[in-house]
C-alpha cells in the first residue's frame, strides 16, 4: 500500500465547509493583510503556547532572520546552528548578516547539546539557534546554562512540549513555519515569532513591516514579511485540531512494527 509522505487532504476534508465559510468572510471583509484575523490568530497561538507575544510573518525562514535581528544579532556576529537541520535554519542566519557556525548533534536525539554548542563557542558567538528537529524539542533548559540568547527554531515542532512547556515557549524567542506539510500548516506560506520579551516582540513587529512602527516613519531596513488574512483565518480553524493530530502521530509512531 503506498503511504504518502504527508497527506493534507484527509485531515482537511471534515473542515472543508468551515474553511470555505471563514475564507468567504475574509473576502467579504475586504481586509487582506495584517487585519483582525491575523491579530486574533496571534492571540490564540500565544495563548496556546503560553507566551506573551506572537507575531505572524510570511514564512518560517523570515521568522528566524527577523527574530535574530530583534534579539540583537548584528552583522559579523556568530550564531551556532546545528549541522543537521533544514537548510533554512542556516540560510536565515546569513540573511540577518551573521555567520552560522555549525555544531554537532547528539546521535540519539539528533539535537544540539550544551557540549556540542560549547565546542564551537567563541568570542563572537552571539546566540544559539536550537532546532526542535522532527518534533523533538532541543534541551533548551540545559542550553540556557551556556549564558547565550537562544532562538528556538520550532518549525517542525508545533504541538510538542518539554517538561510541561510547549515547543515555542522554551527559548528567548521561537519561530514557526506554517508551510502546508508542517504539523500546523496553512494553505500557502506562513510563519510566526513567539516570545515573552516585549522588546523583542516590538522590534520584530516593526521589522516585519519595512522597519516601521506607524506606517509613516521607517526606522530600520526591514522586510515585507506579513502573514495574510486568508492564512490566518485558516490557521484559526486548524489550531484547535493540532493537539488531536499530534496524538494521532504519537499513536501511529508507538505502534509496534509488524
Ligand X SMILES: Cc1ncc(COP(=O)(O)O)c(C=O)c1O
Binding residues (CB under 6 A) for ligand X: these are 59-61, 85-86, 88-89, 131, 153, 155-156, 177, 179, 189, 191
Give CA separation, 42 vs 60, 92, 100, 202, 216, in Å: 15, 22, 29, 14, 24
How near is the Cβ of 85 to ligand X at its closest, in Å? 5
Nearest to ligand X of 113, 177 (CB atom) = 177
- The rounded distance, in Å, linking the Cα atoms of 144 and 26 is 42
Strand partners, 209: 224
129 half-sphere exposure, CB direction, 13 A CA radius: 39
Alpha helices in 167-228 (DSSP H): 198-208
Cβ proximity to ligand X, 156 vs 195, nearer residue = 156
Closest contact distance (angstroms) between CB of 133 and ligand X is 7
Residues with Cβ within 8 Å of 256's Cβ and at least 6 positions away in sequence, in order, are none
Cα 27 to Cα 20, 31, 125, 156: the distances in Å are 10, 8, 47, 30
Please report how close the Cβ of residue 214 comes to ligand X at its closest, in angstroms. Answer: 28
163, burial (CB in 10 Å: exposed 0-12, middle 13-18, buried 19+): exposed
The minimum distance between CB 179 and ligand X, in angstroms, equals 4
Question: Distance (Å, rounded) from C-alpha 180 to C-alpha 189?
Answer: 7
Residue nearest to ligand X (CB): 60
Residue closer to ligand X (CB basis): 92 or 203: 92
Minimal distance, residue 246 CB to ligand X, in Å:
16
CB of 63 to ligand X, least distance (A): 7
Amino acid at each position: 500500500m503506498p503511504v504518502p509522505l504527508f497527506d493534507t487532504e484527509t485531515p482537511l476534508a471534515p473542515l472543508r465547509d468551515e474553511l470555505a465559510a471563514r475564507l468567504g468572510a475574509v473576502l467579504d471583509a475586504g481586509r487582506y493583510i495584517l487585519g483582525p484575523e491575523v491579530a486574533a490568530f496571534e492571540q490564540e497561538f500565544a495563548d496556546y503556547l503560553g507566551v506573551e507575544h506572537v507575531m505572524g510573518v510570511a514564512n518560517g525562514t523570515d521568522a528566524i532572520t527577523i527574530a535574530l535581528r530583534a534579539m540583537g544579532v548584528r552583522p559579523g556576529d556568530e550564531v551556532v546552528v546545528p549541522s543537521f537541520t533544514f537548510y533554512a535554519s542556516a540560510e536565515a542566519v546569513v540573511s540577518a548578516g551573521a555567520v552560522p557556525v555549525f555544531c554537532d548533534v547528539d546521535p540519539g536525539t539528533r539535537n544540539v547539546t550544551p557540549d556540542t554548542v560549547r565546542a564551537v563557542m567563541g568570542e563572537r558567538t552571539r546566540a544559539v539557534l536550537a532546532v526542535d528537529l522532527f518534533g523533538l524539542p532541543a534541551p533548551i533548559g540545559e542550553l540556557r546554562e551556556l549564558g547565550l540568547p537562544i532562538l528556538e527554531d520550532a518549525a517542525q515542532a508545533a504541538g510538542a512540549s518539554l517538561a510541561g512547556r510547549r515547543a515555542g515557549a522554551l527559548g528567548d524567542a521561537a519561530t514557526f513555519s506554517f508551510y502546508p506539510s508542517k504539523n500546523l500548516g496553512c494553505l500557502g506560506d506562513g510563519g510566526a515569532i513567539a516570545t515573552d520579551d516585549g522588546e523583542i516582540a516590538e522590534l520584530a513587529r516593526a521589522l516585519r513591516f519595512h522597519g516601521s512602527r506607524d506606517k509613516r516613519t521607517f526606522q530600520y531596513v526591514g522586510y515585507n514579511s506579513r502573514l495574510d488574512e486568508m492564512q490566518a483565518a485558516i490557521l484559526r480553524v486548524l489550531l484547535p485540531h493540532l493537539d488531536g493530530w499530534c496524538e494521532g502521530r504519537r499513536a501511529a509512531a508507538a505502534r509496534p512494527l509488524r
